[in-house]
Amino acid sequence: MIRVLAGVLCLGMLAVGCGGDPPLPSRLRGRAVAAMAERQLEAQNSGLARGTLSCPDVALKVGASVRCLRTTELSEGRLVKIGGTVSVTSLASGGRLHVAMDRQAQEFGLLGERLAAGVREWYAKRYGAAPTGLACPYLRGEVGNRVVCHGAGRRDVEVVVTAVDPASYRAVYVIRAHRPRPTP
């Protein structure tokens, strides 16, 4: 009877020893890092504009860190990209992270769809009719940066940034018509 009881106790101790947390992976995938960090940012900043965070994989060890990029679309087609550092602070519960976002935007600009709306309005005033099928690329908010919008009738339209306001993530630009494209 004592042998049976001792055997049951040994099995019980083995089960407890094996019943702990499963072993942690050596890396945390970038998608998981981004999701965890984004949840933490939103919990700490209730008025934070919605955005998406993209991060590379990180070694799952205390002190490991990676640089991430958060992209947010604001009103009026403004796009803002802000970098930040995500660090592993604990391995408990699959890992805990600390998120420290940079104080200044890494980049900001105007989405192509919003820029096309402004170009269509300018084009209609200048030529009497708004173009159809106009496509503009993203315009980075940096003085002197230029893009060309295509599909404005027979003319391409160039847009050039003339001033920026980093505090409001706004870019002031001028629109210039290119020479007419030759007819095929």
Per-residue pLDDT tens digits for 60-79: 899 999 999 999 999 999 99
- Kindly tell me if the per-residue pLDDT of 15 is higher than 50: no
Distances (CA, A) of 106 to 45, 74, 125, 131: 20, 15, 35, 33
C-alpha 135, offset from chain centre: 23
Residue 180 binned pLDDT confidence (cut-offs 50, 70, 90): low
Phi-psi region of 159 (alpha: psi -120 to 50; beta: other; left: phi over 0): beta
CB-based contacts of 151, cutoff 8 Å, min separation 6: 131, 132, 133, 134, 135
- Kindly tell me if the per-residue pLDDT of 172 is higher than 50: yes
pLDDT digits (tens, 9 = 90+) for 125-141: 988 888 888 899 999 99
Instruction: Determine the average pLDDT of the residues in 47-54.
Output: 91
Q: What is the pLDDT of residue 179?
A: 61
pLDDT digits (tens, 9 = 90+) for 91-107: 887 778 999 999 999 99
- Kindly tell me if the per-residue pLDDT of 33 is higher than 60: yes
Run of H or E including 17: helix 2-18
Give the whole-angstrom CA distance, residue 71 versus residue 167. 16
Instruction: Determine the average pLDDT of the residues in 40-59.
Output: 91
**pTM score over 0.95:** no
